[in-house]
Amino acid sequence: MSRKEFRRLVSLEDARKALEPFYRRSAESVPLGECYGRTLAEDVYSRVDVPGFDRASMDGYAVKAADTWGADEESPRTLKLIGAIHAGDRPTLAVEAGTAAEIATGAVMPAGANAVVMVENTDSDGSYVNVRKPVTPGENVMHTGADVMMGELVLRKDTRLTSREVSVLAAVGLDYVNVYRMPIVAIMSTGNELTPPGTRLEPGQIYDVNAYAVGAGVRESGGIPLYLGIVRDTPEEFRKAVLDATKKADIILTSGSTSAGSSDMMFSTVGSVGRILVHGIKIKPGKPTIIGEVEGKPFIGLPGYPSSALTIFNEVVAPMVRHMSGRRDKAIREASARMALRVTLEGGREVLLPVGLLRAPEGLYAYPVEKGSGAVSALLDADGYVEIGEEARVIEEGEPVKVRLFSDEIAFPDLLIIGSHCLGIDAIVRMMADRGYTVRSINVGSMGGLRAIRKGIADVAGIHLLDESGTYNEPFVRDIPGAVLVKGYIREQGLIVARGNPLNIKGIADLPGRRFINRTKGSGTRTLLDLELKKLADERHTTLKALAESIPGYDVEAKTHSAVASAILTGKADVGLGIKTVADQNGLGFIPLRDEEYDFVINKNSLDKPAVRALLDVLSSSEFKLSIGRLGYRV
């Protein structure tokens, strides 16, 4: 199939408008017990009075109010008892002057009585009752229709039904309720690389994330997800799946196969069975989005990357699902913040930049958590996003921004850790939770962590930086006022190779000529490698540059230790530098080079925080020593 380029890219607003003709609603009648969470499709008027009779609102005695006037503790009024009335009884007795009837809460008021004396203001011998506090006419009585009158409007159309509204519907006697029908949304994922969660991953395969992520969004928006599984990248299969979906659903959603790549056949296939309304949105993430119509049903082809798919779903599809189910559009809350880092942009398209909100003495900072379109966790780590216009090229550090929040509340943690990620941090978070503290960890690398300490944003930074003298961390902290270095634990760094070390790699000297996978510049691992290569270059009377050029893949960078292990597992590289823990977890060989010190820099202004004191307690505990020992680390 030839490459299909994008047609005219449209704005996010125009993409929403393309779906407006499909904002159709229909109603259905559902049993009262099944209407919770639904939205009323019509006004509800009461066909009965609530209550339908005058009733006692307290346990006590039904009386003529005038018979109690002047009563007090010293001079009670004594009335003759003529019987008792229980809830559900139809009383035949009548209260006359000088008499009273015992009555239960909710019971029908007897003829002649116009008030109820609470039982705690009386005493009785069974034949007479002494009233020690007077009542006024109507006191402790709920009259007919006092709650709801017949013909009264009790609930308006478009009301979302919670437990309160359901109780009102029951009180006015409705057993069925007219609500908006929940749209059925067919969900398909496309791609030969996809496999369902729960199955074993083969090389080159990934789990189908989008179907379940988008399905949860459909439920959250008031729709019913209809999972139709994974469709392979062939026009015949895809055409059949789409046409079948139009018979079962109100909306058809797919993910993947929307870009201009040669294997992406969605554009032509949808065009052959319907019509294309939009092919490409001027937005990041989410550019390769298709909107169309098939058999009168709206079709939306979401991008394949999870964060892109969820972003487009939330921005374009969810409003339509909410409308059809009768839900109000989400009120988008905004928070004012300053950008924590300088952000550069391509320009030419709108950007929705996920950010985490951090609290500093001078206000909120927005910390970019963009990990690339394929990152599943990008939205998980974010509190909201900054909407950036297509003209922007740069947002400077400290520049004011508006953050559109994902939820109604910003949950600030008890302890904020920014820096280099490590499995040891996960152990710390777990142990802090056991002590009742919430921790947020933002992974931006060691240098990013030190920057956050300098700005007073982070409580703690996790770092593992090696200087040219071969000393870890201390030289980098000395010039930061208000910072305290707390020693953490030791990780063993070395060369990760295939199981059994088939190439018999013994050390750094064996790297020239071997396919290598490197770490990102500025990482402690990359610094260690370059120091070791410099030593080797000196021994061989050459330069670091020349030696690096003899190592295929030296310029190929991996962001994590796990990425290094993956490259070796899949045969993309022969060797890489990383920690022993990751090699062991992946069943790979390991040649040790030296110990690496992973330490914690603490903001002095945070030292008195209970959460920081708890962290220091965790770091010095035998429980922590055992926990990281299981990871292959040493205190």
Q: For residue range 18-59, what is the model confidence (pLDDT) as tens digits? A: 999 999 999 999 999 999 999 999 999 999 999 999 999 999
So what's the pLDDT on residue 1?
37
Which residue from 465, 466, 418 is spatially nearest to 444, judged by alpha carbons?
418
Please name the residues in contact with 114: beta carbons below 8 A apart, sequence gap of 6 or more.
Answer: 63, 64, 65, 137, 138, 141
Under CATH, what is the fold of the domain 334-407?
A: Beta-clip (2.40.340)
Size of the chain in residues: 635
What φ, ψ does residue 301 adopt, rounded to 5°? -95, 105
The structure tokens listed for 282 are 């001027």
Per CATH, the homologous superfamily of domain 27-50+147-180 is: Molybdopterin biosynthesis moea protein, domain 2 (3.90.105.10)
The structure tokens listed for 141 are 């009585």
Q: Write out 512-534 in H/E/C secondary structure.
A: CCCCEEEECCCCHHHHHHHHHHH
So what's the pLDDT on residue 376?
63
CB 70 within 8 A of CB 132: no
Give all strands of the β-sheet with 439-443 in edge-to-edge order: 439-443, 415-419, 460-463, 589-603, 483-497, 575-579, 516-519, 557-558
Q: How far is CA 393 from CA 342, 343, 346, 365, 374, in A?
A: 11, 8, 6, 20, 23
Domain 12-24+182-325: top CATH class:
alpha beta
Contacts of range 530-539, beta carbons closer than 8 Å, 24 or more positions apart: 531/466, 531/468, 531/470, 532/508, 532/593, 533/508, 535/508, 536/508, 536/509
> What is the rounded (10 degree) CA torsion for 211, 216, 217, 218?
80
The structure tokens listed for 236 are 């015949």
Domain ranges for the chain, please list them: 12-24+182-325, 27-50+147-180, 55-142, 334-407, 433-629
Which residue from 138, 140, 157, 182 is spatially nearest to 28, judged by alpha carbons?
182
| The listed CATH number (3.40.190.290, 3.30.70.260, 3.40.718.10, 3.30.70.980) that belongs to domain 433-629 | 3.40.190.290
What residues are paired with 27 via a beta bridge?
180
Which residue from 360, 603, 595 is spatially nearest to 485, judged by alpha carbons?
603
Measured between alpha carbons, how far is 290 from 416 in angstroms, rounded to an integer?
Answer: 40
Measured between alpha carbons, how far is 99 from 129 in angstroms, rounded to an integer?
Answer: 9
So what's the pLDDT on residue 90?
94
So what's the pLDDT on residue 263?
40
Neighbours of 33 (CB within 10 A): 10
pLDDT tens figures, 97-149:
999 999 999 999 999 999 999 999 999 999 999 999 999 999 999 999 888 89
So what's the pLDDT on residue 146?
87
Domain 55-142: top CATH class:
mainly beta
So what's the pLDDT on residue 336?
93
So what's the pLDDT on residue 345?
81
So what's the pLDDT on residue 83?
95
In the chain, which residues have pLDDT < 50? 1-6, 262-263
What φ, ψ does residue 621 adopt, rounded to 5°? -85, 150
Which three-class secondary structure state does DSSP give residue 495? strand
